[in-house]
Amino acid sequence: MKRLGAAFAAAAAGLTLGACEVSIDAEDEAPAAPTVAEAETWMTEAEAAYLDAAIYKERVDWVNRNFITVDTDWLGAKAASEYTALRVRLANEAKRFAGLELPPELARKITLLKTGLTLPAPETAGAAEELNNLATALQSAYGKGKGLYKGTVTPGVDLEALMGTERDPDALLEMWTSWRQVAPPMKPQFERLVEIANAGAGELGYADLGQMWRSNYDMDPDEFAALTDKLWGQVKPLYDELHCHVRAKLGDYYGARLVPQDGPIPAHLLGNMWAQQWGNIYDLVAPEEADPGYDVTELLVAAGYDARKMAKTGEEFFSSLGFAPLPETFWERSLFTKPADREVVCHASAWDIDYVDDIRIKMCTKVNADDFQTMHHELGHNYYQRAYNTQSPLHREGANDGFHEAIGDMIALSITPDYLVKIGLLSEDQVPPASADLGLLMSQALDKIAFLPFGLLVDKWRWQVFSGETTPETYNQDWWNLRTHYQGITPPVARMEGDFDPGAKFHIPANVPYARYFLAHILQFQFHQAACEMAGWEGPLHRCSIYGNAEVGARFNAMMELGMSEPWPDALEAFTGTREMDGSAIIAYFQPLIDYLQEQNQGRQCGW
C-alpha cells in the first residue's frame, strides 16, 4: 500500500518552513467582530505560507527518505516540527472566524486546515519539535530494520519478497519473528507520540486524534466509522468463503496440526509478512485446471523489462487514455531501484515535490508481477497530483485519501490478458479461455479481498489507542484480538506485550492513516465498473480493460481535476453517477469465484 505525495498525508506529519520560514502576523488580540473580508485576506496569506512550507518540507523529506543518516533524520525532524507548528498556529488562528457565515469554499478551507494535519502538536513550547523527532525516529528505525533468513541478516525489503516464495514453515517462522524485533524499541516512542498528538487534537477541538482523522471525510466522524462497517458488511461474506477455502488448502499442504481446520490461520503461512495479501500462495490454493497459462513475472523477464521500462509501460497506459506524457524531470529525479551504497526507505511512494509538475516515484523496483501492478498504482498518484495542480493549495489533494489510492488500483484492474496482448507481453494464442477465469479471479481475490479486513482493522486499532480504550499495556493484545476477529488469523508463536507487533507494519511507525486503503479497495471496483460501463463493455467485469479509451480518460480527468475542492460525494458522482460508496461492484466482479468457493466449501467447517 502506498504513500501519498501530498504534504499533510506524509508519514512524518506534514510539511515545514525550514530555512525559508514564512510567518503570518497575528493580532495580539482577536478582533471583536471579524469580517468575511478579513477571513478571506487571512486565508490567502495562510495558503501562501502553507504552500511555501509544503514545497520545502517535501524536498527535505525526499532527501531524508533517499539518504537515511543521522543528519538527514535531524533535518527531517526539524522541518516537520516547524511545519507542524505553522499548521497548528494557522488552525488556531482560524478560530477567530468561528460563527461567521463564510462562503462555502472558505469554510471548507478552514476545516481542511485542521483535519489535514496527521500529527497535530499542542502549542506548548517544544511540543512540535518533540513530536516530529519521535515521528522521524520511528520511521528511520523501520527503514533500517533487518531480520534473519536461514541465519543470515537480511534487509526488510528482501524478507518481504522471500515471505512470498519460501514454503518451509521453519524458515517462514524465522523471518516472521525476527522481523518483528525491529518494533519493541519503538513502543515507548510511539506511546509518547500518541500522548502529544492527542493533546494537539484536543486544542483543535477534537476528543482525540482518531476523531480528528475521521473528521476528514466530509461527514460526522461517527458516521464515517459506521460507513466503513457498512461497507465491510457488504463484502465480508466473500471474505469468509475465501478464508474457508484457503485454510482447507493450507491444511492439505502443511497438515492439520500446523493449520487446524476449525480456527484461525497461522499468520506466517499466507505468503506475506503481515498476512495482509495472500496472492503469493496462489499455487497452493488455486482451482484445479484453472492455470491461466502464463506468468506475468516470467513474461516481464523474458521481454527484458527493467524498472524504467516498467515505468514507461505505465506511462503509456495513461497516454492511451489521453493524458500528457510525464515531464522529463520525472525520469531524471525518480528513484527506480534500491541503491547499493546507502539506506533508503524502500516502501513504494509517489511524490509531488513542487505541487505543480515535479512529480516523482521512489521505489526499490523488482521485475515481477507485483511491482508491475505497483508501478501502475504509483503512477496513478502522480497523474492525480498533476491533474489538480491548478487548484488552490489546500485543494491540491484527492477528494478523500481513499480516492488517491483507488485511482492507481483501478488502473491496475485493467492489467487483463487483453491489455497484455496490446502491449506485446502476451500473444493472442496465450490468452486463456473463459474456463481459466477462476484462476485469474482467485489470484485477484487473494490480494484484493484478503486485504479488506486488514485495511479496516489497522485504523480501528489506532482509533482505540487514541481514545484510550487500548492502553500501552494492551497494545499487542488488542492488535491480535482485532486481527483474529476480522481476519481469522493468529500469531504462529506466543506474543508478549513488549513485542509491539503493530510497529512492524510500515504505516504505524510512519503515522500514515490506513482507512484510505480500505476505502480504496472498495472504490477501485466502483470506479472500474463505472469506467467499463462508459466504455460500453459487455463482457464479464473482470475481463474489462479501459486501455486506449480516451472517452473514459476525459471523464476520469474531470474527476481528478477537482482535487479536494468539493466534498468527495461530488467527485464520486462526477465519474460514477452516484454519491454513495458501495461494495456491490466487488460482488459483481468476483461472482464466478463466489459460486466456485461456495461449491468447494460444502461440507467444510467454515469460520473461526
Residue 33 has pLDDT above 80, yes or no: no
User: In 10 A of CB 512, how many CB atoms?
Assistant: 25
Q: What is the pLDDT of residue 155?
A: 92
Nearest to 233 by CA among 589, 595, 584: 584
Catalytic residue of the set 50, 517, 547, 589:
517
pTM for the structure as a whole = 0.86
- Split at pLDDT 50, 70, 90, the class of 298 is very high
Nearest to 583 by CA among 528, 536, 531, 539: 528
**Annotation marks residue 206 as catalytic:** no
Euclidean distance between CA atoms 350 and 372, whole angstroms: 15
What mean pLDDT comes out for the span 523-547?
95
Catalytic residue of the set 381, 395, 521, 542:
381
Q: What is the pLDDT of residue 28?
A: 54
Euclidean distance between CA atoms 556 and 318, whole angstroms: 11
Q: What is the pLDDT of residue 446?
A: 97
Point out the least confidently predicted range of 159-163, 176-180, 433-437: 433-437
Domain range summary for the chain, segments of one domain joined by +: 7-141+188-216, 296-431+515-577
Q: Are strands 152-155 and 349-352 parallel, antiparallel or unpaired?
A: unpaired
Distances (CA, A) of 125 to 18, 22, 438, 498: 17, 19, 59, 31
**Annotation marks residue 542 as catalytic:** no
**Annotation marks residue 253 as catalytic:** no
Q: What is the mean pLDDT of the chain?
A: 91
Residue 571 has pLDDT above 90, yes or no: yes
Higher pLDDT, 456 or 417: 456
Point out the least confidently predicted range of 25-34, 97-106, 180-189: 25-34
Residue 538 has pLDDT above 60, yes or no: yes
Euclidean distance between CA atoms 371 and 357, whole angstroms: 24
Catalytic residue of the set 268, 507, 521, 528:
507
Residue 465 has pLDDT above 60, yes or no: yes
Instruction: Give percent of the chain above pLDDT 70.
Output: 95
* DSSP result, 396-414: -S-SSHHHHHHHHHHHHHT
Tens of pLDDT, residues 472-511 = 999 999 999 999 999 999 999 999 988 999 999 999 999 9
Tens of pLDDT, residues 350-407 = 999 999 999 999 999 999 988 999 999 999 999 999 999 999 999 999 999 999 989 9
Euclidean distance between CA atoms 232 and 239, whole angstroms: 10
Q: What is the pLDDT of residue 25?
A: 52
**Annotation marks residue 485 as catalytic:** no
**Annotation marks residue 517 as catalytic:** yes
Cell reading at 110: 478552514
Catalytic residue of the set 241, 378, 397, 566:
378
Euclidean distance between CA atoms 591 and 42, whole angstroms: 53
Euclidean distance between CA atoms 75 and 18, whole angstroms: 9
Q: What is the pLDDT of residue 11?
A: 36
**Annotation marks residue 395 as catalytic:** no
Between helix 584-600 and helix 437-467 the angle, nearest 10°, is 110
The type of residue at 36 is V
Tens of pLDDT, residues 264-291 = 999 999 999 999 999 999 999 999 877 7
Residue for grid cell 523477464:
301
Q: What is the pLDDT of residue 29?
A: 56
* DSSP result, 165-194: H---HHHHHHHHHHHGGGSGGGHHHHHHHH
- Split at pLDDT 50, 70, 90, the class of 18 is very low
Catalytic residue of the set 348, 504, 520, 531:
348
